[in-house]
Amino acid sequence: MNLPSIQSMKVYTFVVITIISVATLLGPTSNYVQVYKAVEKLNVTAAKSPITFMQNYRTLITVNVSVENPTGYSGIGIISIMFNVFYLAANGTTEQLSTGTRIWFTDEPGQLVGPHSAISKSYDLVLNLEDKRSTFAELQNLQNSGQKIEMLMENVGVDIDMFMGRIIVPAETVTLNHA
């Protein structure tokens, strides 16, 4: 009976530990390789309800915002989305209706958006248009006549939390489509 030498046992042990280590680290490593691609490709979309006109030149719009992770990366937590709302008039001009609007998904570590999936949040946005009474009247006339009211979310920033910490990722301008 030929027993393996101590030297060959050390080699076998080293090979087994190496295989186990590589197998254990392969999944997390391949996930983190995708982190920059995932941050770069975050996609924000939004839909809005018809405008509800209230007293004192205030309006209410329900905005449904979605954040999509089109990559295989897991580990992005969405904390909030920040944006400004603009009205795009028929003559091509834009008028800012809100500044620094923020929709909170949840506190740190954020609401996880898994690989190849999206999360959504609805938010009732109240716009005070007292200083923009003519815009208020224009919006009211457009909606009453059944015409399309175009609005944009600009200066969009997605507040995310991940293994590198908390960062704000800029996103493209988003058209607020009708829900």
At 28, is the pLDDT very low, low, confident or very high (cuts 50, 70, 90)? low
Nearest partner of 43 among 120, 100, 129, judged by Cα: 120
Q: Which helix (H) or strand (E) holds 83?
A: strand 76-88
71-97 pLDDT, tens digit each: 988 889 999 999 999 999 988 899 999
Report pTM. Answer: 0.77
Residue 136 has pLDDT above 80, yes or no: yes
Whether residue 13 is found in the same domain as residue 97: no
Whether residue 52 is found in the same domain as residue 123: yes
At 31, is the pLDDT very low, low, confident or very high (cuts 50, 70, 90)? low
Residue 7 has pLDDT above 80, yes or no: no
What is the spatial distance between Cα 110 and Cα 87, in angstroms, rounded to a whole number? 30
Whether residue 24 is found in the same domain as residue 109: no
On average, the pLDDT of the chain sits at 88
Give how many domains the chain has, as a whole number: 2
Whether residue 25 is found in the same domain as residue 53: no
At 178, is the pLDDT very low, low, confident or very high (cuts 50, 70, 90)? confident
Q: Which domain holds residue 10?
A: 1-33
Predicted pLDDT at 30: 61
Tell me the mean pLDDT in the region 5-33.
73
Residue 120 belongs to domain with CATH number = 2.60.40
Whether residue 49 is found in the same domain as residue 24: no
Q: Which helix (H) or strand (E) holds 82?
A: strand 76-88
